[in-house]
Amino acid sequence: MPNHTNPDFSALLIDWHKHHGRHDLPWQGTQDPYRVWLSEIMLQQTQVAAVIPYYRRFLERFPSLEKLALAPVEDVMGLWSGLGYYARARNLHRCAQIIMAGHAGRFPVNPNVIAQLPGIGRSTANAIAVFCFGARAPILDGNVKRVLCRTYGVEGFPGTPAVEKRLWALAESLVPQRDSATYIQAQMDLGATVCTRSRPDCAKCPLGGICVARNEDRIVELPEARPRKALPQRELDVLLLHDGKRILLEHRPPTGIWGGLLSLPELSVQGEPQLHAALACGCIVEQFTPLAELRHTFTHFQLTLHPWSGKAKIVPRAAEISSLCWVDFDELAAAALPTPIRKIIDGFLRGHAADATL
């Protein structure tokens, strides 16, 4: 791509950050790679406000990389419950184990080596190396892509390989010789607080004088949106079996949708009747009650859940099914549940409590 970078870009950002950047986030002010790595992983696809309470709880439970590596993966998933994109938690746990076993418990310094660890790509690896080890390297998260596309008029959807390659070349050419950490943080802060996806506050942007999108009135069209495709629709029946004090949950397989979490036993819409499914779980249920359906949108499809509740009488062989477990009502808040399953259970518990007061 032609070299049309502006030497003022980094200087403007660094100066802006001194007065208007974020300086009080809980993971700032440290060069501890464990804490920086944890924050970078949590911030993938997730807003800062949602991450902060999870970040603090996670560090309370796992204050060091060693503690995380030694913990059961079920505990890690439990703390991650509700944050979404659960592969991040599994990779986090696996990464900690690899660092303990293969790197003597010390985070690698070289960003190319960091990028080979589970769940850590080039941008995250560079951020860790910049903030913790003084490296001079670019990052390219969603906020930075948006800032670069608007400032330099980069056309095309940033998620395509060709456009991403152009953005990496541009990002690398812009990294200043000094103050790399401040510059990288300034890029992220500007994208998160000023150059936002919708309704950017261009009047407060330090790059207004050199921004192609602003000067050519193309703010709405840059960066180009992902090409729209109709999301595939999926439907699934789930069974909320309870005995009045506990709910029957099922351990999900370690990979795939909600991998490693607890969920409600499933029943294919085209599959067996609910009665037969309950028997397969080791329970006898006299009557099923349909609960309100729930729709949940994933990146690549939309899922409609059809929950059925039933009070179960437990037959002895239920204890033999290792993938199933009974969880007390008052312990469900700490269980590693996917967000839509938690919504279904919470709705049931509210109704159950109301019925109990009648």
pLDDT at 34 over 80: yes
- Which structure tokens are listed for 8? 């003022």
What is the model's pLDDT at position 5? 56
Task: Establish if 69 belongs to a structural domain.
Answer: yes
Q: What is the pLDDT of residue 2?
A: 41
Name the nearest CA neighbour of 94 among 71, 124, 121, 78: 71
Do both 129 and 81 map to the same domain? yes
Total domain count for the chain? 2
Q: pLDDT, tens digit, for every residue of 315-331?
A: 766 446 678 899 999 99
User: 37-46, 82-91, 196-205, 263-272: lowest mean pLDDT where?
Assistant: 263-272
Higher-pLDDT residue of 3, 199:
199
User: Could you tell me the CATH number of the domain that includes residue 332?
Assistant: 3.90.79.10
The verdict on 286 and 183 lying in the same domain is no
* Residue 293 is among the residues annotated as catalytic for this protein: no
**DSSP labels, 6-55:** -THHHHHHHHHHHHHS----TT-S---HHHHHHHHHHTTTS-HHHHHHHH
3 found inside a domain: no
Its pTM stands at: 0.82
What CATH number is associated with residue 107?
1.10.340.30
Q: Are residues 333 and 281 in the same domain?
A: yes
Residue 190 lies in a domain: yes
3-state secondary structure of 70: helix
Q: Do residues 148 and 163 lie in contact, with contact meaning Cβ atoms separated by under 8 Å?
A: no
pLDDT for the residue 1:
41
With a cut of 80, say whether residue 275 has pLDDT above it.
no
Domain membership of residue 153 as a residue range: 8-215
Largest CA distance in the chain: 74
pLDDT over 50 (residue 193) = yes
Other Cβ atoms closer than 10 A to 199: 7
Rounded distance, CA 78 to CA 5, Å? 46
Better-predicted residue by pLDDT, 223 or 2: 223
pLDDT mean over 194-221: 95
Q: How large is the average pLDDT for residues 239-248?
A: 94
Highest-confidence range of 3-12, 251-260, 326-335, by mean pLDDT? 326-335
263 shares a domain with 203: no
High-pLDDT (> 90) share of the chain, %: 78
Whether 207 and 71 map to the same domain: the answer is yes
For residues 267 and 237, is the Cβ–Cβ distance under 8 A?
Answer: yes
Q: Is residue 127 domain-shared with residue 204, that is, in the same domain?
A: yes
Same domain, 91 and 26: yes
The reported pLDDT for the residue numbered 3 is 45
**Domain identity same for 120 and 19:** yes
3-state secondary structure 148-160: HHHHHCCCCCCCC
Q: Which of the residues 40, 155, 235, 266 is marked catalytic? A: 40
Is residue 333 domain-resident? Answer: yes
Give yes or no: residues 191 and 238 share one domain: no
- Answer yes or no: do 199 and 154 share one domain: yes
Per the domain annotation, does 238 fall within a domain? Answer: yes
45 and 77 co-located in one domain? yes
User: Quick one: average pLDDT of 298-308?
Assistant: 92
Residue 221 covered by a domain? no
Same domain, 169 and 247: no
pLDDT at 98: 97
Q: What is the pLDDT of residues 55-106, one digit of tens each?
A: 999 999 999 999 999 999 989 998 998 898 899 999 999 999 999 999 999 9
Q: Is residue 1 part of a domain?
A: no
